[in-house]
Structure 1
């Protein structure tokens, strides 16, 4: 396109291209003619203009042709989806931290006003204040216990954002460790399926669904769990617990392993399109 001496620069020292020396002639002519600076030459491109010649993969088509307003609107929609994905995942992770620290007010506050949460082995509670009351009733306000440590590791998130960016679904795998100074600790594995919404501009959990898969102590490990030997809360605990739940648990009441129970999904198989036995709506 341009060649010049360093001292002269493109303004004063530009020179025309030089032909190939004898013995080094090209084997074929150029695929396109060209001229050297100061003549203007637009080199050929192997792709279409991404703004005028097509829509980038995954972006919604601009509603009003190629106008700047349409392109800006498309960018804003894309940004809203990214913000929604990060916000939904962050709130789900915050929940895990708060319950590890036995911070029940903070835990309840990550739920929407009409949020729903399953209290393990007990039932489903509807409403932020009902969730708060159930957590305090079960665990008290003494904070994290000095005799043990609980860690909820929530990994492998699958985030599905609604087209309008106002809600999202998050599926994560739970690997929980519970230590105990006075006895054997335990491992718990499960699946979270959360629905999240924006409430007054802040991401909140609208509905939390938790299915345990297996539960085992440190000594034996999950490989030695006996048939129907999974820890279960005594029936009278669930029957006598106050406040009473607003509804039953969905699915298994306790970890079924070594039995296998179908897990619910909020999406179909992304490769085959096969629907799970239970598709969460």
Structure 2
């Protein structure tokens, strides 16, 4: 479901349709029901044609998703919240949508597919007017059923017996893979919280001994010590306990791919960054993380962290994301982060060449919202295996620094698709 959400953001309709089973349905509460893959595409195209064009924002961040896997192991139900952040710089239109989704999935030949999508709109509101008066559509009083997250008492669960031919070793491996998902997600959120509070040492301690991290607009630093010192070089240490500003690092909607042995994982997460300040206008930014985590000395650690930023920005809460001004095409590229002159990275964004060329600090033409930035993926379509236009499996700097890769350090590279 999280992977589907990222495709919706970019209006990658073909990839969204690929995720659905043949007998799929899409239902809009108090609206129509669409049947089959053609019906799925019809619903999607109500948002607009395939692919984003300049100035169009179609983000649909997913929050609070719970998944109930049915006892047969072949079906599942997911329920969560979708917050659509929509807009068009060309018309200066912008809106919010708050929806509840309750979707069913089915496992076919070992691959999970979307069988049914049910969307219940809660609020639709003009960005500039807000939702305080109920929005621009009548509110929906229907509440989609919640999931049965507790199947019964512990004693009832323990009494269940299921025949299996699996060995103890294979069961342990499968348990490690399940635990890896939780370990990866926990590290992802911990990283965001420490960045919020600028706790450099605590953030650096999340990394493996040979872990590396990209600092925005600068480059990569390797080892927990270097990562910590880079954060200090950027933000300093003499900070008052009473802060005058903050940029939050919300990292929702993880897509986590775990290695076969359960000792490493690849993680994609969204950065939704609200900010506020007493001295300047706050706003919202959007970016994407491409990370890896490993199990080191019995603890999950961050192995690689890359931030691709920004995909869209708002100059202020008042102006929103649909009042951005196009960048002067003749303007020089912005300089890399100034603090790197006193504390240079181990690997610059320029060193990575094409992969980072359109981001600030790279070696190509800088792309800034409302122009549409390239969207990179570490994985292929989870159902069809289709490669995205911008495909970069593994850790981002590892094609330049192969000694930083998982495999060069005794870990497995997680599969990037079916």
Counterparts of 2:270 and 2:280 in 1: how far apart (Å)? 26
* Number of the residue aligned with 1:275: 387
The verdict on how the C-alpha distance between 1:169 and 1:143 changes in structure 2, with shifts beyond 3 A counting, is: farther
Aligned to 1:191: 288
The equivalent residue for 1:264 is 376
| More moved, 74-83 vs 175-184 | 74-83
User: 1:41-61 CA distances to partner (integer Å, 9 max, x unpaired)?
Assistant: xxxxxxxxxxxxxxxx86xxx
Question: Is 1:243–2:243 an aligned residue pair?
Answer: no
Q: Distance in 2 between matches of 1:85 and 1:195?
A: 12
User: How many Å apart are 1:153 and its aligned residue?
Assistant: 1.2
- Between 1:255-264 and 1:217-226, the stretch displaced more is 255-264
Q: Does 1:115 align with 2:215?
A: no
TM-score using structure 2 length: 0.48
Q: 1:92 aligns with which of 163, 188, 192?
A: 188
In the alignment, structure 1 segments of 5+ residues that lack a partner are: 1-56, 59-66
Q: How far apart, in 2, do the equivalents of 1:262 and 1:227 lie?
A: 16
| 2:326 aligned with 1:227 | yes
Distance 1:261 1:126 in 2: 27
Are residues 1:217 and 2:315 paired? Answer: yes
Q: How does 1:17-36 map to 2 (within 5 A)?
A: none
Based on CA coordinates, which of the two structures has the bigger radius of gyration?
1
Distance apart, 1:234 and its partner CA: 5.1
**Aligned residue runs from structure 1 range 3-152, under 5 A:** 70-141=166-237, 142=239, 146-152=243-249
Q: 1:178 offset after TM fit, Å?
A: 1.0
User: 4+ residue runs of structure 1 moved beyond 3 angstroms?
Assistant: 67-71, 236-240
CA–CA distance in structure 1, aligned partners of residues 383 and 268 of structure 2: 17
Distance 1:68 1:221 in 2: 55
Q: Which has the higher strand share?
A: 2
Supply the distance in 2 between the matched residues of 1:278 and 1:78 (Cα, whole angstroms).
28
Superposition CA RMSD, Å: 2.9
Asked if the contact 2:379/2:391 (under 8 Å) is kept, the reply is no
Counterpart for residue 165 of structure 1: 262
Equivalent residue number for residue 5 of structure 1: none
Deviation at 1:68, TM superposition (A): 8.0
* Aligned counterpart, 2:359: 253
Gaps of 5+ in 2: 1-108, 111-162, 350-354, 361-366, 395-418
